[in-house]
Amino acid sequence: MANSSIAQPTSRKGLFARGRGAGRQLEWWQQLLLQAFCLTVAVSVLFPIMWIVTLSFKEAGSARPLKLEVIPPSLSSITLSSYQAVIEQPLSKSAGDISFWKLMGNSFFLAAGVSFFSVMIGVAAAYAFSRLNFVGRKLIFLSIGFILLMPGIATLAPLFAMLAKISTSLEVLRIIYFTMAGLLIAGLALMTISRIRSDDFRAGSAAFLVGGLAVAALFLWGGTQIEIPKNARPFELGRSLYGVGLAMISGALPFAIWNLKGYLDTIPKELEEAAIIDGASPNQIFFRIILPLATPALAVTAFLGFMAGWTEFALTARFINKADNYTLAIALQTMTGQYATVSWSNFAAMSIMISLPVSIVYLALQKYIVGGLTLGGVKG
């Protein structure tokens, strides 16, 4: 197909010479063959997607369709009642009583928590691995790489056994909460003081101060709102979304470190060298140069962590035993199957509602994601 056009005069206009800036025109039969090929691939890609979209537009509670439909038969047959039904009652009565928004909230909490903590902790470690030389660097980094190869399920048994051991009464939990909030506020206060004392106190620092105070106030207010009912069951870490989140971070953090380190390595060193000559410390380089430049990588890594948490199934299914803590993935699983008890149109609506938010963000970040995956991916 790579027929040369070099030997031919450039003035020769092909039959289909319309491509913008195309240096070369294809013969009509070449174009036809290529189009046929690309179209076949496109149809095979679209087939399952169109099938599920069509299915989701059917009447709520529709069972297995007896006819193959990949586009809705008519405009009037399109109904959103399946979506409505799923939002009203995502789980069947026997599986548990939980609203769709609660499911979504749980999934979001898990996904956002995992991605936030793994990126926050990960970027500092990635900076150390990328830019600083220290004793044990290679050993630690290699062990992280090895962890990365492991599927999350390979450490499920010990994580479950460990986390399920931890259970505490809610009073203790409240004390822990206030201690954590206190530490956070103290940290914020320290940072604010150091900002004020430094000679470049600017609008950004003021915003930082106000933001910090607001967060502190929110935490304290939230703490006073905690009410502990009498005879409340003790909090079991291994049975809560916090436990699932911790178990997920055990895999997400090494991934974040590895991925971010791969990206930080591509940031040219000249900038830092200039900063060092100007007398910048490693801290200043990290906060003033590396972090701003790494924003796209941070966003991508956070998003990949978010996506993993959003559709996390295996750990959640093992840890969670109360319908209150179910996530979207668990709900989707209860809707799969061949039996007449599950509605295929509801399943289709559910799968689309799970996919849509993350898929849109994925499309937007696509360029950075693919670059990052091959860059920070497995490097032997």
Partner 1 sequence: MASAESSVERASDSAIPRPSWWARTRTSRTAYTYLFPALIVMSIITFYPILYQFWMSLTDFGPSSINPLAKNYTPPKYVGFENYQLILQDKLATKNADLASFKFWRTLGFNIWWTFSNVIFHVSLGIVIAVMLNVEGLWFKKIYRAIYILPMVLPQLVIATIWRNMFDGQYGAINLMLKIFLGPAFPSGGIDWLQRIEPVAFGLPLSYFAMLIANIWLGWPFMTIVATGALQSIPKELYEAASIDGATGWNKFWTITLPLLRPAMVPATILGIIQTFNLFHVIYFISGGGPLGQTEILVTQAYKLINNNSLFGIGAAFSVFIFIILGCISAITARISRVAESYDG
- Provide the token pair at 243: 């436990």
Q: Considering the complex, what minimum distance in angstroms separates the CB of residue 290 from partner 1?
A: 11
Residue 49 or 207 having the CB closest to partner 1: 49
Closest approach, Cβ 48 to partner 1, in A, equals 6
Closer Cβ to partner 1, 38 or 196, answer by number? 38
CB 99 to partner 1: min, Å: 21
In whole angstroms, the minimum distance from the beta carbon of 152 to partner 1 comes to: 8
Provide, rounded to whole angstroms, the least separation between the CB of residue 189 and partner 1: 19
Q: What is each CA distance from 55 to 68, 71, 82, 85, in whole angstroms?
A: 10, 9, 9, 14
Q: How far is the CB of 94 from partner 1 (least distance, A)?
A: 19
Nearer to partner 1 among residue 2 and residue 203 (C-beta): 2
What are the φ/ψ torsions at residue 90 (nearest 5 degrees)? -70, -35
CB nearer to partner 1: pick between 212 and 262: 262
Please identify, using beta-carbon distances, which residue of 164 and 173 lies nearer to partner 1: 164
Complex with partner 1: residue 143 or 194, whichever CB lies closer: 143
Distance of closest approach, residue 89 Cβ to partner 1, in angstroms: 19
Rounded to a whole number of angstroms, the minimum distance from the CB of residue 213 to partner 1 is: 24
The secondary structure of the chain, three-state, reads CCCCCCCCCCCCCCCCCCCCCCCCCCCHHHHHHHHHHHHHHHHHHHHHHHHHHHHHCCCCCCCCCCCCCCCCCCHHHCCCHHHHHHHHCCCCCCCCCCCHHHHHHHHHHHHHHHHHHHHHHHHHHHHHHHHCCCCCHHHHHHHHHHHHHCCHHHHHHHHHHHHHHCEECHHHHHHHHHHHHHHHHHHHHHHHHHHHHCCCCCHHHHHHHHHHHHHHHHHHHHHHHCCCCCCCCCEEHHHCHHHHHHHHHHHHHHHHHHHHHHHHCCCCCHHHHHHHHCCCCHHHHHHHHHHHHCHHHHHHHHHHHHHHHHCCCHHHHHHCCCHHHCCHHHHHHHHCCCCCCCCHHHHHHHHHHHHHHHHHHHHHHHHHHHHHHHHHCCCC
Closer of 128 and 209 to partner 1 (Cβ):
128
Of residues 209 and 309, the one with the C-beta less far from partner 1: 309
